[in-house]
Amino acid sequence: MGNPNVGKSALFSRLTGVRVVVSNYPGTTVSYARGSMKLGDEIADVIDAPGTYTLEPTSEAEEIAQKLLDSGDVVVNVVNATNLERNLYLTLQLLERGIPVVVALNIWDDTKHLGIDIDRDKLGALLGVPVIPTVAVTGEGIKELVENIPRATSPHTPARSRGERWAAVGGIVEKVQHIGHRHHRWFERLADASVRPLTGGIMALVVLAGSFMLVRFIGESLINYVFNPLFNNLWSPVVLNLSNLMGGGGFFHDIVVGKLIGGEVDFVQSFGLLTSGLYVPFAMVLPYIVSFYLVLGILEDTGYLPRLAVLMDTIMHRLGLHGYAIIPTLLGLGCNVPAVLSTRILESKRERFIAATLISIAVPCAALQAMILGLVGAQGWQYVAMVYGTLFLVWIILGVILNYTVRGFSPELLIEIPPYRLPPWRTVLQKLWMRTYGFLVEAIPIILGAVVAINILYYFGVFNAIANFTAPVVTGLLGLPKEAVTALAIGFLRKDVALGLLAPLGLSAGQLVVGSVVLAMSFPCIATFVVLLRELGILNMLKAAGIMIVAALIVGGILNLIL
């Protein structure tokens, strides 16, 4: 246990290696990691609780951290050695609970650079527990820490009030810590510049543009050079042979293989378990998941994300969010799936609902943007500007409306801003593996189930009935031809393909703007929809879907009247 940004996950990684399971705490979307380590002759379970500043919780993550505390026999309290005052408050609370504690005085290497001298022996004597200096990113002190876990003690510490606890922290720090003169280093000046409005804004644009391009570059490279060749050259012949064995058609053939397009497998449109059911999670979503979590891990471990959150906090609060919400919002421009997943970094259910809904409605993914630029851009760039301008206005206006109508609260942004550090690649890659594996285990069964359900609905003509029923709205309110209903329905599977289906209809520039905006704002693709269901729960997912439909129809109708 420890405060956020103290190197807790890096230390956990050192203790447990690669055999790690990430789970959501029951009834929440707050996740924690569980692993195991060799401790003497025994195998010990190790739990990495969410970061918390106090055992008097002010957020859902801190509530879960407190509940997990009851499941442990020993607490390894990870303390940031460069910010002893802030961290010892939680330490004293843990000692008052009477649980055996050993303190890992982490980021010990930075104390010498900052001119901080801590008497670890005197600190251990005052607290009554073992205190071990550690550098989790390099492994320094880990062996001594493991040796001291069985020696963890629970000294008799009387309960204190908040004021008494802070007074005790001040007394301890005064006795054990001495700070000498030092000069600022260049990256400390960079850290100061990154939270000032002007210089911080410029840096944010550069970092986020670079992150966005890197996510797209890695994701598209994996799709084009790894997954597409694997599916087209290796998996496609297997599916075609299986299709021939199953007679090339029929109900079970369409569920397992899907419909062949011109006698060939189309992994996007065939929509069978072995075609779209595997292609969507592995070749469409996984590449962006990998690239997104790699970039996110680097930004986390360099210490930049807290600074960006502080910079954007005032603006985002107008939309019922706090600064951290800018990360999933901007990364949704690459792919909505990891964007919705990353709303987990937000503390309250209200914030996660607002952020996920706004992303699904007003943030077009990279594939859809490519079609907008190609199809609408051919009519003139002013029409592309209309599409993006409309979506930006929707993001602002809908965010303000949700801020005033969705119950709950958005907590203030209370975060520790760590110093800039080079990212520890071992930790970055291990977090990448943990997060990617967790996505695949949870998402693939749901996507396969959705493929089966939609095939059954198609077989019984439910989708055709929906198309016929909605045709008057499409032609009357939106001003689109009846044939556009098919494209709008396909948008549930893949929006860029759906927009491409509008191309043969001979639409005017205004109709293309309406069609693009309505497609962007209506139901997200199936992969995003599945993630929304998992992250928000069925009730909130249905609420978000209702908001999408109403907003898309209202905005589409207004655009039709204007254009």
With the CA atoms of 494, 495, 497 and 499 taken in that order, what torsion angle do they form, in degrees rounded to the nearest 10?
160
Give Cα 196 distance to the centre of its chain: 26
Question: What integer pLDDT is reported at residue 534 of this predicted model?
Answer: 81
Structure tokens at 350: 């209200």
Question: What integer pLDDT is reported at residue 170 of this predicted model?
Answer: 94
Phi-psi map region of 549: left, alpha, beta (phi>0 left; psi -120 to 50 alpha)? alpha
Provide the terminal-to-terminal Cα distance of the chain, rounded to the nearest Å.
58
Residues of the chain with pLDDT under 50: none
Question: What integer pLDDT is reported at residue 167 of this predicted model?
Answer: 94
Instruction: Compute the distance between CA of residue 263 and CA of residue 308 in angstroms, rounded to an integer.
Output: 51
97 DSSP 8-state letter = T
Structure tokens at 355: 């952020």
Which residue in 229, 252, 182 sits closest to 452, CA to CA? 252
Going from the N-terminus, what domains does the chain have, and what CATH number goes with each?
A: 8-182 (3.40.50.300), 198-562 (no CATH)
Q: Which residues lie below 8 Å from residue 245, measured CB to CB, with a gap of 6+?
A: none
103 burial level (CB within 10 Å; 0-12, 13-18, 19+) = buried
Instruction: Compute the distance between CA of residue 126 and CA of residue 123 in angstroms, rounded to an integer.
Output: 5
Residue pair 239/275 in contact by the 8 Å Cβ criterion: yes
Instruction: Compute the distance between CA of residue 497 and CA of residue 530 in angstroms, rounded to an integer.
Output: 19
Question: What integer pLDDT is reported at residue 486 of this predicted model?
Answer: 67
Residue pair 8/78 in contact by the 8 Å Cβ criterion: yes
Strands 20-24 and 177-179: unpaired
Question: What integer pLDDT is reported at residue 386 of this predicted model?
Answer: 92
Beta bridge partners of 103: 77, 131
Question: What integer pLDDT is reported at residue 413 of this predicted model?
Answer: 58
Which residue in 517, 563, 495, 549 sits closest to 387, CA to CA? 517
Whether the model clears a pTM of 0.85, i.e. scores above it, the answer is no
Rg (CA), the chain: 27
